[in-house]
Structure 1
Amino acid sequence: MSLRLVRAPEPYERLDGDGPSLFLAGGITGIEDWQSRAEILAGRAGFPVTVFNPRRAGFDMTREADSVEQIAWEHRLLRAADLVLFWFAEGPSTQPITLFELGSAAERPGRIAVGVHPSYSRAMDVRQQLRHVRPEVEVRSTLEEVVAEALRALRDG
């Protein structure tokens, strides 16, 4: 039972034994590194999982070439993932790119798991928007809960 980590901007090619894949969608800029905690939780899954983590070391978003590369990587792997986990972390940002990605993912077929920290400023909006377009998605309140839900969904197929 192993965890495979693919971090931006690493290329990804599916390998035998990878198991299902999980994309960690959520705030990065000005937001705590919640992705590292999610990786640890996914590592305890008890079955092989590939985690796509968009947080990258030394990312300089003022460099246009780096930003273009980052956006292309995220776009490609958001669609390649078997399930996209959205986490809206506590912090000063409304995480507008994550809101955009959630809106896009919610409108197309595919599995998603969504969590919102209780103090996230747009928590009510996320819950209400999903209620209309994906009523089957239960919005979780902790990172641990949303990771557990995502792993259950991946394990159960």
Structure 2
Amino acid sequence: MSTKRVLVAYGTEYGGTAGIAEQIGETLREDGLDAVVLPAADVHDVRGYDAVVLGGSLRGGRWSSKAAHCAERNADSLRHRPVWLFSSGPLDRSAEEHDIPPVAAVARQMQLIGAREHMTFGGTITARTPGLLARALIRQGKGGDFRNPERIRTWAHHIGSELAA
């Protein structure tokens, strides 16, 4: 039996979601899968993969347009393989404290492509994050890195075990 190929694609604004995607890819590789991590904007055909994990950053309650366009562009192929979606965004510990349901646009994507599951992870805004909004949030003391590496790895292992089953 050949190793399952898994695409981990992401739409990121400032790199935080890319970091989550890289960690998911690394964990899936540890689980013996052939995981490829790519920006969602670069994904034009998912037929070479046995499964897909697609993530996007959240800003103002909206999911990354790059992730959404990737899902729409590949919808027919995504419906024929296992797919998991994730979001990154809350700039606090809320993603740790309770399951955050997908925003409306992500819920629609889940239905469109028949995704198995969605997970929301905390986001990150630091002094290195570009943009006026980021600087304003940092000045207000609302910045920080709220991504939980252990939670990300646990979810990725869950996906790996589902694919191994």
Q: Is this a same-fold pair by TM over 0.5?
A: yes
Aligned to 1:83: 51
Alpha-carbon offset, residue 28 of structure 1? 4.1
Counterpart position of 2:161? 152
> 1: CA distance between counterparts of 2:112 and 2:67?
17
Work out the number of aligned pairs and report it.
120
SS at match of 2:164: helix
Deviation at 1:40, TM superposition (A): 2.6
Please name the residue that 1:65 is paired with.
Answer: none
CA distance in 1, matches of 2:37, 2:154: 18
Q: After TM superposition, give the deviation of residue 85 of structure 1 in Å.
A: 0.2
Q: Deviations over 1:81-125 (max 9, x none)?
A: 1001012235688421211122344443221011223539xx412
Partner in structure 2 of residue 110 of structure 1: 81
Match of 1:6 in 2: none
Give ranges in structure 2 of 5+ residues lacking alignment: 92-101, 122-151
Residue of structure 1 equivalent to 2:29: 43
- Residues of 2 paired with 1:52 and 1:148: CA distance? 16
CA contact (8 A) 1:24 1:86 kept: yes
Q: CA RMSD in A?
A: 3.4
Give the aligned residue type for 2:15.
I
Structure 1: 5+ residue stretches without partners: 1-16, 56-69
Mapping 1:89-108, distance limit 5 Å: 89=57, 94-107=63-76, 108=79
Task: Pick closer, same or farther for the CA change 1:125–1:144 going to 2, 3 Å.
Answer: farther
Aligned-partner Cα distance in 1 for 2:65–2:58: 14
The answer (yes or no) to whether the contact 2:9–2:52 under 8 Å persists in 1 is yes
1:115 & 1:137 partners in 2: Cα distance? 11
Instruction: Identify the structure with bigger relative contact order (alpha carbons < 8 Å, sequence gap 6+).
Output: 1
Query: Given that residues 22 and 85 in structure 1 are in contact (C-alpha distance below 8 angstroms), is that contact kept between their aligned partners in structure 2?
Result: yes
Higher strand share: 2
The 3-state SS of whatever aligns with 2:47 is: helix
User: TM-score of the superposition, structure 2-length normalised?
Assistant: 0.55
Q: Is the 8 A contact 2:5 2:49 kept in 1?
A: yes
> Per-residue CA shift, 1:31-62, capped at 9, x if unaligned?
222233123322331xx31111225xxxxxxx
- Distance, in Å, in 2 between the alignment partners of 1:106 and 1:152 is 24
Contact in 1 for aligned 2:13/2:57 (Cα 8 Å): no
Which letter maps to 2:107? Q
SS at match of 2:26: helix
TM-score normalised by length of structure 1: 0.58
Structure-2 change in CA distance of 1:105 and 1:152 (3 Å): farther
